[in-house]
Amino acid sequence: MPSPQAPTDTGPGEGTQRPSLDIVIVNFRSTPLVLRCLQSIARHPPAGVTLTAIRIEDNSPAESDWSGLSDLTLPVILSGSGGNAGFGQACNRAAAASVADLLLFLNPDTEILAGTLDRAAAALLAPVAPRRGAVGVQLLDAAGRVQRTCSVFPTPSMMLAQALGLHRLGLRAAQPFMADWDHGDSRPVDQVMGAFLLMRRRDFQTIGGFDRRYFLYYEDLDLCRRLRAAGLTVQFLATAQALHLGGGSSRTAVDLRLTQWLRSRVLYCRRWFGLPAALAVLLLSAVAEPPLRLGQALATGDDVAAVLRGIAGYWRGLPALTARILRRTEAPSPDS
């Protein structure tokens, strides 16, 4: 598979020019959370970068009430396609409309804390080698506890183990999240969570943006992997924080979340590990994983009906998904 080339310029903001920043937020049935996120930005605006726009891509326009925007003095630009285009596609649309130096992809269920935007921008633009392609920050839950969100790049065996539920047994070999590290120090990592993902806009364009094959989930993992393939690094920053409530847009659509997570995992396997691994994960996800997920839902009191709907949605899409991963062009093209 051809690797994208790393940009050679240092980019704006690394000399004397003050960089500009656009923040991208994708909304899906989470307007109150978006408004809280915007209020946190208003409380803690950046000082070292110029906030030129907050681009809200609304994937559920018929259900959104944006009357609260009138109370905020922020450069908000509200747009949408009229339906749910998926997370990555909405982000790409916002990025294509931007002319800012930096792009921050921010989840609706986050809240910015003091100094976060400036520290993250300074870390991204620091003159280090190899150059940083993306920065993520320390994410805190509602109780102020550090969430262990960084991951290593998964392997085919890791994904097969997940489909068999082995990660629920605490087996490290089946778990990509770096749970054995307390996230108390800054370091390069394979992947930072897309809840807070800061990049140069030029880098985002050069590697092709978010891969459109992922409707929801795995797009941030795929993007970080392509950054690494381009010779750039991904930096976790422990000296900047954001609150992350978790669930966010997908909290109101548990069945959609499960369907798309299972589907995206197969597509990720196809792209990075090839057809045999993708077919194996597809089969295990369809046969072995559903009873495990239903058993977990029963044991924990989760919404069993939603899990059933999510599994049924995945099963309904299996013919199209199978046909897609059998296409020879599926693996190398980020824009398929």
Domain ranges of the chain: 20-147+183-250, 253-326
Strands (E), 95-246: 102-106, 110-112, 132-140, 187-189, 196-200, 233-244
Q: List Cβ<8 Å contacts ≥24 apart for 169-177.
A: 176/151, 176/152, 177/148, 177/149, 177/150, 177/151
> Tens place of pLDDT for every residue, the chain, 336 residues?
334 444 444 444 455 589 999 999 999 989 999 999 999 999 999 999 999 999 999 998 777 889 888 889 999 999 987 788 899 999 999 999 999 999 999 999 999 999 999 999 999 999 999 999 999 999 999 999 999 999 999 999 999 988 887 876 666 667 788 988 999 999 999 999 999 999 999 999 999 999 999 999 999 999 999 999 999 999 999 999 999 987 555 455 789 899 999 999 999 999 999 999 999 999 999 999 999 999 988 998 889 999 999 999 999 999 999 999 998 666 544 443
Domain 20-147+183-250 has CATH 3.90.550.10: yes
Question: Helix, strand, or coil here: 58?
Answer: strand
Contact 249/216 with Cβ under 8 angstroms?
Answer: no
CA–CA gap between residue 143 and residue 65 (Å, rounded): 28
